[in-house]
Structure 1
Protein backbone atom coordinates (compact mmCIF):
# COMPACT_ATOMS: atom_id res chain seq x y z
CA UNK A 1 0.00 0.00 0.00
CA UNK A 2 1.45 3.32 -1.11
CA UNK A 3 -0.08 6.64 -0.03
CA UNK A 4 0.53 9.59 -2.35
CA UNK A 5 -0.56 13.18 -1.59
CA UNK A 6 -1.24 15.75 -4.29
CA UNK A 7 -3.08 19.06 -4.51
CA UNK A 8 -6.33 19.26 -6.43
CA UNK A 9 -5.90 21.26 -9.63
CA UNK A 10 -9.15 22.76 -11.02
CA UNK A 11 -7.47 23.11 -14.44
CA UNK A 12 -6.36 19.50 -14.65
CA UNK A 13 -7.96 17.06 -17.14
CA UNK A 14 -8.82 14.90 -14.10
CA UNK A 15 -10.48 17.75 -12.15
CA UNK A 16 -14.04 16.51 -12.65
CA UNK A 17 -13.14 12.96 -11.64
CA UNK A 18 -11.09 14.18 -8.69
CA UNK A 19 -13.85 16.45 -7.36
CA UNK A 20 -16.44 13.65 -7.66
CA UNK A 21 -14.19 11.24 -5.76
CA UNK A 22 -13.30 13.83 -3.11
CA UNK A 23 -16.97 14.69 -2.53
CA UNK A 24 -17.74 11.00 -2.12
CA UNK A 25 -15.02 10.71 0.54
CA UNK A 26 -16.30 13.78 2.40
CA UNK A 27 -19.88 12.54 2.38
CA UNK A 28 -18.80 9.11 3.64
CA UNK A 29 -16.57 10.52 6.37
CA UNK A 30 -19.02 13.21 7.50
CA UNK A 31 -22.53 12.39 6.24
CA UNK A 32 -24.04 15.45 7.92
CA UNK A 33 -22.42 17.87 5.47
CA UNK A 34 -23.94 19.33 2.34
CA UNK A 35 -21.09 19.08 -0.16
CA UNK A 36 -21.00 18.83 -3.94
CA UNK A 37 -18.17 18.20 -6.42
CA UNK A 38 -18.81 21.60 -7.98
CA UNK A 39 -18.22 23.37 -4.69
CA UNK A 40 -14.92 21.64 -3.97
CA UNK A 41 -13.51 22.85 -7.27
CA UNK A 42 -15.07 26.29 -6.90
CA UNK A 43 -13.45 26.81 -3.50
CA UNK A 44 -9.97 26.08 -4.84
CA UNK A 45 -10.46 28.36 -7.85
CA UNK A 46 -12.32 31.24 -6.16
CA UNK A 47 -11.21 31.54 -2.53
CA UNK A 48 -9.52 34.84 -1.61
CA UNK A 49 -5.80 34.94 -2.29
CA UNK A 50 -5.11 35.61 1.40
CA UNK A 51 -6.85 32.36 2.34
CA UNK A 52 -4.44 30.20 0.30
CA UNK A 53 -7.13 27.51 0.26
CA UNK A 54 -5.95 24.11 -0.93
CA UNK A 55 -7.66 20.76 -1.35
CA UNK A 56 -5.22 17.90 -0.74
CA UNK A 57 -5.99 14.44 -2.10
CA UNK A 58 -4.69 11.15 -0.67
CA UNK A 59 -4.42 8.21 -3.05
CA UNK A 60 -3.68 4.62 -2.17
CA UNK A 61 -2.37 2.71 -5.15
CA UNK A 62 -4.21 5.11 -7.46
CA UNK A 63 -7.53 5.16 -5.56
CA UNK A 64 -8.62 8.34 -3.78
CA UNK A 65 -9.14 7.42 -0.13
CA UNK A 66 -8.88 10.74 1.70
CA UNK A 67 -8.93 14.52 1.34
CA UNK A 68 -8.09 17.59 3.38
CA UNK A 69 -9.24 21.20 3.13
CA UNK A 70 -6.60 23.57 4.43
CA UNK A 71 -5.54 27.20 4.36
CA UNK A 72 -5.34 30.39 6.41
CA UNK A 73 -8.14 32.03 8.40
CA UNK A 74 -7.89 35.23 6.38
CA UNK A 75 -10.90 36.70 8.20
CA UNK A 76 -9.51 36.11 11.70
CA UNK A 77 -8.76 39.07 13.93
CA UNK A 78 -5.52 37.28 14.93
CA UNK A 79 -2.97 36.61 12.17
CA UNK A 80 -1.17 33.29 11.72
CA UNK A 81 -4.14 30.97 12.29
CA UNK A 82 -4.72 28.06 9.92
CA UNK A 83 -7.28 25.33 9.36
CA UNK A 84 -6.74 21.73 8.30
CA UNK A 85 -9.75 19.43 8.18
CA UNK A 86 -9.09 15.80 7.26
CA UNK A 87 -11.50 13.30 5.75
CA UNK A 88 -10.64 9.63 5.25
CA UNK A 89 -13.14 7.11 3.95
CA UNK A 90 -14.36 5.26 7.08
CA UNK A 91 -13.75 1.86 5.48
CA UNK A 92 -10.12 2.77 4.81
CA UNK A 93 -8.99 4.24 8.11
CA UNK A 94 -5.78 3.17 9.81
CA UNK A 95 -3.78 2.73 6.60
CA UNK A 96 -1.75 5.95 6.70
CA UNK A 97 -3.85 8.38 4.65
CA UNK A 98 -4.72 10.56 7.63
CA UNK A 99 -1.11 10.81 8.80
CA UNK A 100 0.08 11.67 5.30
CA UNK A 101 -2.59 14.35 4.85
CA UNK A 102 -1.83 15.85 8.25
CA UNK A 103 1.90 16.03 7.55
CA UNK A 104 1.37 17.58 4.12
CA UNK A 105 -1.20 20.07 5.39
CA UNK A 106 0.88 21.18 8.36
CA UNK A 107 3.92 21.66 6.14
CA UNK A 108 1.83 23.72 3.73
CA UNK A 109 0.36 26.15 6.27
CA UNK A 110 3.65 26.40 8.19
CA UNK A 111 5.25 27.48 4.94
CA UNK A 112 2.63 30.23 4.73
CA UNK A 113 3.64 31.53 8.15
CA UNK A 114 0.88 29.93 10.23
CA UNK A 115 1.63 29.61 13.94
CA UNK A 116 -1.54 27.86 15.09
CA UNK A 117 -3.50 25.11 13.38
CA UNK A 118 -7.15 24.19 14.00
CA UNK A 119 -8.83 20.92 12.99
CA UNK A 120 -12.34 19.53 13.37
CA UNK A 121 -13.00 15.84 14.00
CA UNK A 122 -15.94 13.71 15.00
CA UNK A 123 -16.17 12.86 18.69
CA UNK A 124 -15.28 9.20 18.27
CA UNK A 125 -12.56 7.02 19.76
CA UNK A 126 -10.49 6.73 16.58
CA UNK A 127 -10.51 10.48 15.81
CA UNK A 128 -9.74 11.50 19.39
CA UNK A 129 -6.81 9.08 19.60
CA UNK A 130 -5.47 10.34 16.24
CA UNK A 131 -5.64 13.99 17.31
CA UNK A 132 -4.04 13.44 20.71
CA UNK A 133 -1.33 11.22 19.25
CA UNK A 134 -0.36 14.03 16.90
CA UNK A 135 -0.08 16.69 19.59
CA UNK A 136 -3.48 18.39 19.32
CA UNK A 137 -5.41 19.59 22.33
CA UNK A 138 -9.18 19.69 22.63
CA UNK A 139 -11.07 22.94 22.09
CA UNK A 140 -14.77 23.63 21.61
CA UNK A 141 -17.46 21.12 20.67
CA UNK A 142 -20.35 21.47 18.26
CA UNK A 143 -23.42 19.37 17.50
CA UNK A 144 -24.75 18.25 14.15
CA UNK A 145 -28.55 17.98 14.16
CA UNK A 146 -30.98 16.47 11.67
CA UNK A 147 -34.64 17.21 10.91
CA UNK A 148 -36.68 15.08 8.49
CA UNK A 149 -38.86 17.21 6.24
CA UNK A 150 -41.18 14.47 5.00
CA UNK A 151 -42.88 13.19 8.15
CA UNK A 152 -45.06 16.20 8.99
CA UNK A 153 -43.11 17.07 12.15
CA UNK A 154 -42.09 20.57 11.05
CA UNK A 155 -44.02 23.04 13.27
CA UNK A 156 -46.36 25.54 11.59
CA UNK A 157 -45.03 28.96 10.67
CA UNK A 158 -45.08 31.35 13.66
CA UNK A 159 -47.35 34.39 13.29
CA UNK A 160 -45.77 37.44 11.67
CA UNK A 161 -46.03 40.48 14.01
CA UNK A 162 -47.18 43.88 12.72
CA UNK A 163 -44.40 45.80 10.98
CA UNK A 164 -42.47 42.59 10.32
CA UNK A 165 -41.94 41.12 6.86
CA UNK A 166 -40.32 37.85 5.81
CA UNK A 167 -38.51 38.11 2.48
CA UNK A 168 -36.41 35.80 0.35
CA UNK A 169 -32.80 36.53 -0.49
CA UNK A 170 -33.71 37.06 -4.12
CA UNK A 171 -36.07 39.94 -3.30
CA UNK A 172 -33.31 42.40 -2.44
CA UNK A 173 -31.94 42.96 -5.93
CA UNK A 174 -28.29 43.88 -6.32
CA UNK A 175 -27.75 46.04 -3.24
CA UNK A 176 -27.20 43.61 -0.39
CA UNK A 177 -25.35 45.86 2.02
CA UNK A 178 -28.02 45.63 4.72
CA UNK A 179 -27.85 41.84 4.65
CA UNK A 180 -24.04 42.00 4.67
CA UNK A 181 -24.08 44.27 7.74
CA UNK A 182 -26.52 41.98 9.55
CA UNK A 183 -24.42 38.93 8.68
CA UNK A 184 -21.24 40.58 9.99
CA UNK A 185 -22.95 41.58 13.23
CA UNK A 186 -24.61 38.25 13.97
CA UNK A 187 -21.67 36.06 12.94
CA UNK A 188 -19.41 38.05 15.25
CA UNK A 189 -21.48 36.82 18.21
CA UNK A 190 -21.33 33.11 17.36
CA UNK A 191 -19.12 31.22 19.87
CA UNK A 192 -15.86 30.19 18.20
CA UNK A 193 -12.19 29.53 18.93
CA UNK A 194 -11.28 31.85 16.06
CA UNK A 195 -12.52 35.43 16.43
CA UNK A 196 -13.71 36.68 13.04
CA UNK A 197 -12.92 40.15 11.81
CA UNK A 198 -15.58 42.00 9.79
CA UNK A 199 -15.59 40.92 6.14
CA UNK A 200 -15.46 43.51 3.38
CA UNK A 201 -18.60 43.74 1.28
CA UNK A 202 -17.01 42.61 -1.99
CA UNK A 203 -15.40 39.58 -0.32
CA UNK A 204 -18.65 38.66 1.42
CA UNK A 205 -20.56 38.94 -1.83
CA UNK A 206 -18.14 36.69 -3.72
CA UNK A 207 -17.50 34.12 -1.00
CA UNK A 208 -20.85 33.79 0.74
CA UNK A 209 -23.69 35.24 -1.29
CA UNK A 210 -22.40 33.85 -4.61
CA UNK A 211 -21.30 30.53 -3.11
CA UNK A 212 -22.61 27.72 -5.36
CA UNK A 213 -24.33 25.93 -2.46
CA UNK A 214 -26.13 29.08 -1.26
CA UNK A 215 -29.80 28.93 -2.22
CA UNK A 216 -30.90 32.57 -2.30
CA UNK A 217 -34.56 31.68 -2.91
CA UNK A 218 -34.65 29.59 0.29
CA UNK A 219 -32.67 32.11 2.33
CA UNK A 220 -34.96 34.15 4.60
CA UNK A 221 -34.48 37.75 5.66
CA UNK A 222 -36.75 39.30 8.28
CA UNK A 223 -37.24 43.07 8.28
CA UNK A 224 -38.77 45.24 10.99
CA UNK A 225 -40.24 48.47 9.66
CA UNK A 226 -38.17 47.94 6.55
CA UNK A 227 -34.83 47.36 8.36
CA UNK A 228 -33.04 44.00 8.12
CA UNK A 229 -33.28 42.46 11.60
CA UNK A 230 -32.76 38.70 11.24
CA UNK A 231 -31.74 36.14 8.64
CA UNK A 232 -31.37 32.45 7.95
CA UNK A 233 -29.04 31.31 5.17
CA UNK A 234 -29.93 28.19 3.20
CA UNK A 235 -27.31 25.77 1.87
CA UNK A 236 -28.47 22.96 -0.43
CA UNK A 237 -27.10 20.24 -2.67
CA UNK A 238 -29.76 20.99 -5.29
CA UNK A 239 -31.34 17.57 -4.75
CA UNK A 240 -32.56 16.43 -1.33
CA UNK A 241 -30.36 17.94 1.38
CA UNK A 242 -30.76 21.33 3.03
CA UNK A 243 -28.45 22.80 5.65
CA UNK A 244 -28.77 25.97 7.66
CA UNK A 245 -25.92 28.40 7.30
CA UNK A 246 -25.87 31.34 9.66
CA UNK A 247 -29.18 32.00 11.39
CA UNK A 248 -29.38 34.92 13.78
CA UNK A 249 -30.75 38.29 14.81
CA UNK A 250 -29.12 41.69 15.09
CA UNK A 251 -28.55 42.72 18.69
CA UNK A 252 -31.17 45.47 18.78
CA UNK A 253 -33.93 43.07 17.70
CA UNK A 254 -33.22 40.00 19.84
CA UNK A 255 -35.80 38.39 22.12
CA UNK A 256 -38.69 38.74 19.65
CA UNK A 257 -38.52 35.32 17.98
CA UNK A 258 -37.28 36.74 14.68
CA UNK A 259 -34.54 34.16 14.10
CA UNK A 260 -37.11 31.41 14.62
CA UNK A 261 -39.42 33.13 12.15
CA UNK A 262 -36.65 33.43 9.55
CA UNK A 263 -35.57 29.82 9.90
CA UNK A 264 -39.14 28.52 9.92
CA UNK A 265 -39.93 30.32 6.69
CA UNK A 266 -36.81 28.92 5.06
CA UNK A 267 -37.52 25.36 6.19
CA UNK A 268 -41.12 25.48 4.98
CA UNK A 269 -40.03 26.66 1.55
CA UNK A 270 -37.34 23.98 1.45
CA UNK A 271 -39.92 21.30 2.17
CA UNK A 272 -42.21 22.69 -0.52
CA UNK A 273 -39.28 22.63 -2.97
CA UNK A 274 -38.81 18.89 -2.39
CA UNK A 275 -35.95 18.77 0.08
CA UNK A 276 -36.33 15.76 2.34
CA UNK A 277 -33.90 16.32 5.22
CA UNK A 278 -32.42 19.35 6.93
CA UNK A 279 -29.16 19.57 8.86
CA UNK A 280 -27.64 22.21 11.08
CA UNK A 281 -24.58 22.60 13.28
CA UNK A 282 -24.26 24.65 16.46
CA UNK A 283 -21.58 25.27 19.03
CA UNK A 284 -22.29 23.25 22.16
CA UNK A 285 -22.42 26.50 24.14
CA UNK A 286 -24.85 28.27 21.83
CA UNK A 287 -27.89 27.46 23.92
CA UNK A 288 -30.27 30.02 22.32
CA UNK A 289 -29.80 28.46 18.86
CA UNK A 290 -29.87 24.91 20.24
CA UNK A 291 -33.20 25.72 21.93
CA UNK A 292 -34.64 27.05 18.67
CA UNK A 293 -33.60 23.88 16.86
CA UNK A 294 -35.14 21.68 19.57
CA UNK A 295 -38.39 23.60 19.02
CA UNK A 296 -38.24 22.71 15.32
CA UNK A 297 -37.70 19.04 16.19
CA UNK A 298 -34.05 18.69 15.22
CA UNK A 299 -32.31 15.74 16.86
CA UNK A 300 -28.60 15.51 17.53
CA UNK A 301 -26.90 13.06 15.16
CA UNK A 302 -23.22 13.65 15.92
CA UNK A 303 -20.80 15.79 17.91
CA UNK A 304 -17.53 17.17 16.61
CA UNK A 305 -14.49 18.52 18.44
CA UNK A 306 -12.26 21.47 17.54
CA UNK A 307 -8.60 20.63 18.00
CA UNK A 308 -5.66 23.05 18.11
CA UNK A 309 -1.88 22.75 17.93
CA UNK A 310 0.86 25.36 17.99
CA UNK A 311 3.06 24.95 14.93
CA UNK A 312 5.97 27.16 16.00
CA UNK A 313 9.08 25.52 17.43
Structure 2
Protein backbone atom coordinates (compact mmCIF):
# COMPACT_ATOMS: atom_id res chain seq x y z
CA UNK A 1 0.00 0.00 0.00
CA UNK A 2 1.50 3.31 -1.12
CA UNK A 3 1.17 6.12 1.39
CA UNK A 4 2.34 9.68 0.75
CA UNK A 5 3.07 12.13 3.56
CA UNK A 6 2.64 15.76 2.55
CA UNK A 7 1.47 19.14 3.80
CA UNK A 8 -2.26 19.56 4.31
CA UNK A 9 -3.95 21.31 1.38
CA UNK A 10 -7.10 23.36 1.85
CA UNK A 11 -9.00 20.95 -0.38
CA UNK A 12 -8.07 18.10 2.02
CA UNK A 13 -10.00 19.59 4.93
CA UNK A 14 -13.49 18.23 4.10
CA UNK A 15 -11.97 14.73 4.28
CA UNK A 16 -9.56 15.43 7.13
CA UNK A 17 -12.17 16.94 9.45
CA UNK A 18 -14.29 13.78 9.95
CA UNK A 19 -11.09 11.76 10.47
CA UNK A 20 -9.85 14.04 13.27
CA UNK A 21 -13.32 14.57 14.73
CA UNK A 22 -13.85 10.82 15.02
CA UNK A 23 -10.38 10.27 16.49
CA UNK A 24 -10.92 12.82 19.30
CA UNK A 25 -14.49 12.42 20.57
CA UNK A 26 -13.87 14.70 23.60
CA UNK A 27 -12.45 17.61 21.58
CA UNK A 28 -14.34 20.64 20.30
CA UNK A 29 -13.64 21.04 16.57
CA UNK A 30 -15.43 22.26 13.46
CA UNK A 31 -14.55 22.23 9.78
CA UNK A 32 -14.62 26.03 9.75
CA UNK A 33 -12.04 26.09 12.54
CA UNK A 34 -9.77 23.78 10.54
CA UNK A 35 -10.08 26.04 7.51
CA UNK A 36 -9.27 29.08 9.65
CA UNK A 37 -6.21 27.38 11.12
CA UNK A 38 -5.00 26.28 7.69
CA UNK A 39 -5.23 29.82 6.31
CA UNK A 40 -3.25 31.18 9.29
CA UNK A 41 -0.56 28.53 8.93
CA UNK A 42 0.32 29.89 5.52
CA UNK A 43 1.99 32.84 7.25
CA UNK A 44 3.20 31.03 10.40
CA UNK A 45 6.54 29.24 10.02
CA UNK A 46 6.23 27.61 13.46
CA UNK A 47 3.09 25.59 12.69
CA UNK A 48 2.64 22.76 10.22
CA UNK A 49 -0.09 20.25 9.43
CA UNK A 50 0.66 17.01 7.61
CA UNK A 51 -1.59 14.36 6.10
CA UNK A 52 -1.08 10.79 4.98
CA UNK A 53 -2.75 10.09 1.64
CA UNK A 54 -3.22 6.67 0.03
CA UNK A 55 -2.92 5.82 -3.65
CA UNK A 56 -6.53 6.81 -4.35
CA UNK A 57 -5.98 10.26 -2.80
CA UNK A 58 -7.97 9.50 0.36
CA UNK A 59 -6.75 11.15 3.58
CA UNK A 60 -5.89 8.34 6.02
CA UNK A 61 -3.74 10.21 8.53
CA UNK A 62 -3.32 13.65 10.06
CA UNK A 63 -0.95 15.39 12.48
CA UNK A 64 -0.08 18.93 13.61
CA UNK A 65 3.21 20.34 14.87
CA UNK A 66 4.28 23.56 16.50
CA UNK A 67 7.71 24.94 17.35
CA UNK A 68 7.78 26.92 20.61
CA UNK A 69 10.28 29.76 20.69
CA UNK A 70 10.89 31.82 23.83
CA UNK A 71 13.61 34.35 24.39
CA UNK A 72 16.43 32.90 26.46
CA UNK A 73 15.13 29.32 26.11
CA UNK A 74 15.88 26.47 23.75
CA UNK A 75 13.30 25.90 21.03
CA UNK A 76 11.06 22.90 21.62
CA UNK A 77 8.55 21.25 19.33
CA UNK A 78 5.27 19.49 19.94
CA UNK A 79 3.43 16.99 17.74
CA UNK A 80 -0.27 16.53 18.45
CA UNK A 81 -3.68 15.53 17.05
CA UNK A 82 -2.27 12.33 15.52
CA UNK A 83 -5.25 10.75 13.75
CA UNK A 84 -5.07 7.59 11.64
CA UNK A 85 -7.93 5.87 9.84
CA UNK A 86 -8.83 2.64 11.72
CA UNK A 87 -8.00 0.47 8.70
CA UNK A 88 -4.47 1.89 8.60
CA UNK A 89 -3.54 1.82 12.28
CA UNK A 90 -0.51 -0.28 13.05
CA UNK A 91 0.58 -0.38 9.40
CA UNK A 92 3.39 2.16 9.75
CA UNK A 93 1.35 5.30 9.03
CA UNK A 94 1.93 6.52 12.59
CA UNK A 95 5.69 6.03 12.20
CA UNK A 96 5.84 7.92 8.94
CA UNK A 97 3.73 10.83 10.20
CA UNK A 98 5.86 11.04 13.33
CA UNK A 99 9.13 10.99 11.40
CA UNK A 100 7.92 13.70 9.01
CA UNK A 101 6.75 15.81 11.95
CA UNK A 102 10.11 15.42 13.66
CA UNK A 103 12.02 16.48 10.55
CA UNK A 104 9.99 19.66 10.26
CA UNK A 105 10.48 20.54 13.93
CA UNK A 106 14.23 19.92 13.79
CA UNK A 107 14.44 22.13 10.69
CA UNK A 108 12.62 24.79 12.74
CA UNK A 109 15.36 24.55 15.37
CA UNK A 110 13.68 22.30 17.96
CA UNK A 111 16.11 20.83 20.48
CA UNK A 112 13.48 18.91 22.45
CA UNK A 113 10.63 16.97 20.86
CA UNK A 114 7.30 16.31 22.57
CA UNK A 115 4.29 14.27 21.43
CA UNK A 116 0.82 14.06 22.94
CA UNK A 117 -0.82 10.60 23.13
CA UNK A 118 -3.95 9.63 25.06
CA UNK A 119 -6.12 6.77 26.23
CA UNK A 120 -8.40 5.15 23.65
CA UNK A 121 -11.46 6.95 25.08
CA UNK A 122 -9.84 10.31 24.33
CA UNK A 123 -7.76 9.52 21.24
CA UNK A 124 -8.82 6.57 19.12
CA UNK A 125 -5.55 4.91 18.22
CA UNK A 126 -3.76 6.53 21.16
CA UNK A 127 -2.43 3.24 22.62
CA UNK A 128 -0.89 2.34 19.24
CA UNK A 129 0.74 5.79 19.09
CA UNK A 130 2.19 5.25 22.58
CA UNK A 131 3.79 2.01 21.35
CA UNK A 132 5.28 3.83 18.35
CA UNK A 133 6.63 6.61 20.54
CA UNK A 134 8.37 4.19 22.87
CA UNK A 135 9.94 2.45 19.87
CA UNK A 136 11.24 5.86 18.73
CA UNK A 137 12.90 6.54 22.06
CA UNK A 138 10.30 8.79 23.67
CA UNK A 139 9.65 8.66 27.39
CA UNK A 140 6.50 9.71 29.19
CA UNK A 141 7.10 12.95 31.10
CA UNK A 142 3.75 14.08 32.49
CA UNK A 143 0.03 13.44 32.34
CA UNK A 144 -3.23 15.36 32.16
CA UNK A 145 -6.63 14.15 33.31
CA UNK A 146 -9.38 14.66 30.73
CA UNK A 147 -12.73 15.22 32.41
CA UNK A 148 -16.26 15.33 31.07
CA UNK A 149 -19.52 16.74 32.41
CA UNK A 150 -23.12 16.14 31.38
CA UNK A 151 -24.52 19.63 31.93
CA UNK A 152 -27.85 18.29 33.14
CA UNK A 153 -25.94 17.09 36.22
CA UNK A 154 -24.61 20.55 37.16
CA UNK A 155 -25.03 21.35 40.87
CA UNK A 156 -26.98 24.43 41.88
CA UNK A 157 -25.13 27.72 41.71
CA UNK A 158 -23.33 28.65 44.94
CA UNK A 159 -23.75 32.13 46.44
CA UNK A 160 -21.57 34.77 44.79
CA UNK A 161 -18.46 35.80 46.75
CA UNK A 162 -18.85 39.23 48.37
CA UNK A 163 -18.03 42.03 45.94
CA UNK A 164 -18.00 39.74 42.90
CA UNK A 165 -19.43 40.76 39.53
CA UNK A 166 -19.31 38.73 36.32
CA UNK A 167 -19.10 40.06 32.77
CA UNK A 168 -18.84 38.13 29.53
CA UNK A 169 -15.78 38.40 27.33
CA UNK A 170 -18.11 39.84 24.70
CA UNK A 171 -18.54 42.87 26.96
CA UNK A 172 -14.86 43.68 26.26
CA UNK A 173 -15.29 43.74 22.48
CA UNK A 174 -13.75 47.21 22.22
CA UNK A 175 -10.58 46.47 24.18
CA UNK A 176 -9.93 42.96 25.57
CA UNK A 177 -6.36 43.69 26.69
CA UNK A 178 -7.24 43.27 30.39
CA UNK A 179 -8.37 39.71 29.59
CA UNK A 180 -5.06 39.06 27.86
CA UNK A 181 -3.18 40.34 30.91
CA UNK A 182 -5.00 37.93 33.26
CA UNK A 183 -4.63 35.05 30.78
CA UNK A 184 -0.89 35.66 30.39
CA UNK A 185 -0.17 36.07 34.10
CA UNK A 186 -2.22 33.09 35.27
CA UNK A 187 -0.86 30.85 32.48
CA UNK A 188 2.63 31.35 33.88
CA UNK A 189 1.56 29.26 36.88
CA UNK A 190 0.09 26.45 34.78
CA UNK A 191 1.93 23.14 35.34
CA UNK A 192 3.84 21.93 32.30
CA UNK A 193 6.95 22.71 30.25
CA UNK A 194 5.31 25.10 27.79
CA UNK A 195 3.03 27.95 28.77
CA UNK A 196 -0.36 27.91 27.10
CA UNK A 197 -0.56 31.67 26.61
CA UNK A 198 1.01 33.60 23.72
CA UNK A 199 3.91 35.84 24.66
CA UNK A 200 2.39 39.07 23.43
CA UNK A 201 -0.94 40.70 22.73
CA UNK A 202 -0.30 40.76 18.98
CA UNK A 203 -0.33 36.93 19.02
CA UNK A 204 -3.07 36.52 21.60
CA UNK A 205 -5.65 38.66 19.80
CA UNK A 206 -5.83 36.59 16.58
CA UNK A 207 -5.05 33.23 18.20
CA UNK A 208 -7.48 33.47 21.12
CA UNK A 209 -9.90 36.36 20.74
CA UNK A 210 -10.54 35.90 17.00
CA UNK A 211 -10.43 32.09 16.98
CA UNK A 212 -13.69 30.80 15.43
CA UNK A 213 -14.23 28.38 18.33
CA UNK A 214 -13.80 31.00 21.07
CA UNK A 215 -17.16 31.46 22.79
CA UNK A 216 -17.11 35.06 23.99
CA UNK A 217 -20.61 34.85 25.47
CA UNK A 218 -19.93 31.85 27.73
CA UNK A 219 -16.41 33.00 28.66
CA UNK A 220 -16.47 35.23 31.74
CA UNK A 221 -14.30 37.64 33.69
CA UNK A 222 -14.85 38.10 37.43
CA UNK A 223 -14.49 41.58 38.88
CA UNK A 224 -13.92 41.95 42.61
CA UNK A 225 -15.02 45.36 43.84
CA UNK A 226 -14.70 46.52 40.23
CA UNK A 227 -11.23 45.08 39.54
CA UNK A 228 -10.89 42.23 36.97
CA UNK A 229 -9.13 39.41 38.85
CA UNK A 230 -10.17 36.06 37.33
CA UNK A 231 -11.20 34.55 34.00
CA UNK A 232 -12.81 31.37 32.76
CA UNK A 233 -12.87 30.92 28.99
CA UNK A 234 -14.29 28.33 26.62
CA UNK A 235 -14.28 27.13 23.06
CA UNK A 236 -17.46 25.64 21.64
CA UNK A 237 -18.88 24.13 18.49
CA UNK A 238 -21.82 26.57 18.72
CA UNK A 239 -24.18 23.63 19.15
CA UNK A 240 -23.94 21.10 22.00
CA UNK A 241 -20.31 20.83 23.10
CA UNK A 242 -17.86 23.14 24.82
CA UNK A 243 -14.38 22.82 26.25
CA UNK A 244 -12.60 24.82 28.93
CA UNK A 245 -9.50 26.48 27.52
CA UNK A 246 -8.34 28.43 30.59
CA UNK A 247 -9.47 29.28 34.10
CA UNK A 248 -7.26 31.36 36.34
CA UNK A 249 -7.15 33.90 39.16
CA UNK A 250 -4.48 36.51 39.81
CA UNK A 251 -2.15 35.25 42.53
CA UNK A 252 -3.07 37.77 45.21
CA UNK A 253 -6.79 36.88 44.93
CA UNK A 254 -6.55 33.08 45.07
CA UNK A 255 -8.11 30.95 47.77
CA UNK A 256 -11.42 32.84 47.80
CA UNK A 257 -13.45 30.58 45.50
CA UNK A 258 -13.47 33.13 42.68
CA UNK A 259 -12.45 30.81 39.84
CA UNK A 260 -14.87 28.12 40.96
CA UNK A 261 -17.74 30.60 41.09
CA UNK A 262 -16.92 32.01 37.64
CA UNK A 263 -16.71 28.53 36.16
CA UNK A 264 -20.00 27.44 37.72
CA UNK A 265 -21.82 30.49 36.34
CA UNK A 266 -20.27 29.97 32.88
CA UNK A 267 -21.43 26.34 32.78
CA UNK A 268 -24.96 27.27 33.85
CA UNK A 269 -24.97 29.93 31.14
CA UNK A 270 -23.82 27.32 28.61
CA UNK A 271 -26.63 24.96 29.62
CA UNK A 272 -29.18 27.77 29.21
CA UNK A 273 -27.88 28.23 25.65
CA UNK A 274 -28.49 24.58 24.77
CA UNK A 275 -25.05 23.03 25.36
CA UNK A 276 -25.20 19.52 26.79
CA UNK A 277 -21.58 18.34 27.26
CA UNK A 278 -18.49 20.06 28.66
CA UNK A 279 -14.89 18.83 28.72
CA UNK A 280 -11.72 20.04 30.36
CA UNK A 281 -8.13 18.91 30.88
CA UNK A 282 -6.02 19.35 34.01
CA UNK A 283 -2.50 18.39 34.91
CA UNK A 284 -2.58 15.60 37.48
CA UNK A 285 -0.49 17.82 39.77
CA UNK A 286 -2.92 20.77 39.51
CA UNK A 287 -4.94 19.73 42.56
CA UNK A 288 -6.72 23.09 43.10
CA UNK A 289 -8.31 23.01 39.64
CA UNK A 290 -9.04 19.28 39.86
CA UNK A 291 -10.89 19.96 43.12
CA UNK A 292 -12.93 22.74 41.49
CA UNK A 293 -13.91 20.47 38.61
CA UNK A 294 -14.83 17.57 40.88
CA UNK A 295 -17.11 19.91 42.84
CA UNK A 296 -18.79 20.93 39.56
CA UNK A 297 -19.49 17.28 38.75
CA UNK A 298 -16.82 16.55 36.14
CA UNK A 299 -15.98 12.84 35.80
CA UNK A 300 -12.75 11.25 34.48
CA UNK A 301 -12.77 10.29 30.80
CA UNK A 302 -9.13 9.24 30.50
CA UNK A 303 -5.54 10.42 30.56
CA UNK A 304 -3.45 12.29 28.00
CA UNK A 305 0.31 11.90 28.28
CA UNK A 306 3.17 13.99 26.98
CA UNK A 307 6.15 12.02 25.66
CA UNK A 308 9.55 13.64 25.26
CA UNK A 309 12.97 12.97 23.77
CA UNK A 310 15.91 15.12 22.66
CA UNK A 311 16.11 15.88 18.95
CA UNK A 312 18.87 14.40 16.86
TM-score scaled by structure 2? 0.92
- The match for 1:24 is 18
Shift of residue 221 of structure 1? 0.7
Which of 100, 104, 119 is matched with 1:104 structurally? Answer: 100
Say what the alpha-carbon RMSD is for the aligned residues: 1.9
- The match for 1:248 is 248
Contact 1:75 1:197 in 2 (8 A): no
Give secondary structure in 2 for the equivalent of 1:234. strand
Contact 2:46 2:68 in 1 (8 A): no
Q: 1:284 to 1:90 in 2, by over 3 A?
A: farther
- The match for 2:147 is 145
Contact 2:33 2:212 in 1 (8 A): yes
Contact 1:76 1:196 in 2 (8 A): no
Distance 1:208 1:70 in 2: 18
Q: 1:34 to 1:196 in 2, by over 3 A?
A: closer
Contact 1:76 1:194 in 2 (8 A): no
Shift of residue 153 of structure 1? 1.4
Distance 1:228 1:166 in 2: 9
Shift of residue 148 of structure 1? 0.7
Distance 1:207 1:282 in 2: 21
Give secondary structure in 1 for the equivalent of 2:153. coil
- The match for 2:38 is 44
Which of 62, 67, 79 is matched with 2:62 structurally? Answer: 67
Provide Cα deviations, 1:83-139, integer angstroms capped at 9, x if missing partner.
112222345311221111111111111112211111100146423211100111111
- The match for 1:309 is 309
- The match for 2:116 is 120
Q: 1:56 to 1:216 in 2, by over 3 A?
A: same
Provide Cα deviations, 1:129-156, integer angstroms capped at 9, x if missing partner.
111001111111001111012xx31012
- The match for 2:188 is 188
- The match for 2:269 is 269
Give secondary structure in 2 for the equivalent of 1:230. strand
Give secondary structure in 2 for the equivalent of 1:135. coil
Contact 2:117 2:127 in 1 (8 A): no
Give secondary structure in 2 for the equivalent of 1:32. coil
Distance 1:112 1:199 in 2: 18
Q: 1:255 to 1:77 in 2, by over 3 A?
A: farther
Q: 1:251 to 1:90 in 2, by over 3 A?
A: farther
Give secondary structure in 2 for the equivalent of 1:101. helix
- The match for 1:207 is 207
Shift of residue 165 of structure 1? 0.2
TM-score scaled by structure 1? 0.91
Distance 2:237 2:47 in 1: 21
- The match for 2:6 is 6
Provide Cα deviations, 1:4-62, integer angstroms capped at 9, x if missing partner.
1111233xxx2xxx223222222222211111122222223225956521111111232
- The match for 2:137 is 135
Distance 1:213 1:306 in 2: 24
Distance 1:38 1:235 in 2: 13
Q: What is the count of residue pairs matched by the alignment?
A: 304
Q: Which runs of 5+ in 1 are unaligned?
A: none
